[in-house]
């Protein structure tokens, strides 16, 4: 499971070293707290919750130790941050057209790397339903994205013709 947990932590933290530290601390905690695990719980969810909490603790500890005066913000860093924010906004917009369950299926599969079979177990849905809903959701988001791109082009062209935009 270490590969799955590391991937989850890296996506969550976006920092290799924090993800590695959190992974190490996660396995130490699992070893220490194994007796408190209840058999009827989902083991992967239990482990990922521990991992997420360890990552949050490390991030909080690091943020207290760092000094804001030491941060160097370059134009390239700002551009990367802006791109990241725009990508996140687009993803949020596309996900907003889905139902809560469909959103969970897409996020669990694409972001956290869960297999369709694992998602069906987590959500107590038939495997075929999970696969079908994932495909339908991805098609919906692709169509919405394509429509938005087309509308943006139509908007740009009409404003060029009206003299509002000079490119």
pLDDT tens per residue, range 100-139: 899 889 888 888 888 999 899 888 999 999 999 999 999 9
CA dist., res. 134 & res. 116, Å (int): 9
pLDDT tens per residue, range 30-84: 889 888 777 766 788 788 888 888 988 888 887 665 544 444 555 555 566 656 6
Q: What does the pLDDT read at residue 136?
A: 94
How far are the Cα atoms of 96, 105, 149 from residue 99, in angstroms, in the given order? 8, 10, 23
The three-class DSSP label of residue 64 is: helix
Q: What does the pLDDT read at residue 94?
A: 77
Domains of the chain: 1-65 (1.10.1740.10), 82-167 (1.10.10.10)
Give the Cβ contact number of residue 74 at 10 Å. 8
Residue 87 has pLDDT above 80, yes or no: no
- For the question of whether the overall pTM of this predicted structure is more than 0.85, the answer is no
* Summary count for the chain: helices (H), strands (E): 7, 0
Mean pLDDT of 1-15: 83
């Amino acid at each position: 499971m270490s590969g799955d947990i590391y991937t989850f932590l890296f996506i969550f933290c976006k920092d290799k070293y924090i993800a590695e530290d959190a992974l190490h601390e996660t396995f130490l905690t699992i070893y220490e707290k194994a007796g408190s695990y209840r058999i009827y719980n989902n083991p992967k969810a239990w482990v990922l919750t521990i991992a997420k909490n360890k990552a949050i603790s490390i991030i909080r500890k690091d943020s207290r130790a760092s000094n804001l005066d030491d941060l160097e913000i370059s134009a390239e860093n700002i551009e990367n941050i802006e791109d990241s924010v725009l990508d996140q906004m687009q993803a949020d917009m596309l996900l907003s057209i889905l139902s809560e369950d469909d959103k969970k299926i897409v996020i669990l599969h694409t972001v956290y790397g869960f297999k369709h079979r694992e998602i069906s177990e987590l959500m107590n849905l038939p495997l075929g339903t999970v696969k079908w809903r994932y495909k339908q959701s991805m098609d919906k988001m692709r169509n919405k994205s394509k429509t938005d791109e087309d509308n943006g082009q139509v908007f740009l062209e009409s404003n060029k013709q009206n003299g509002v935009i000079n490119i």
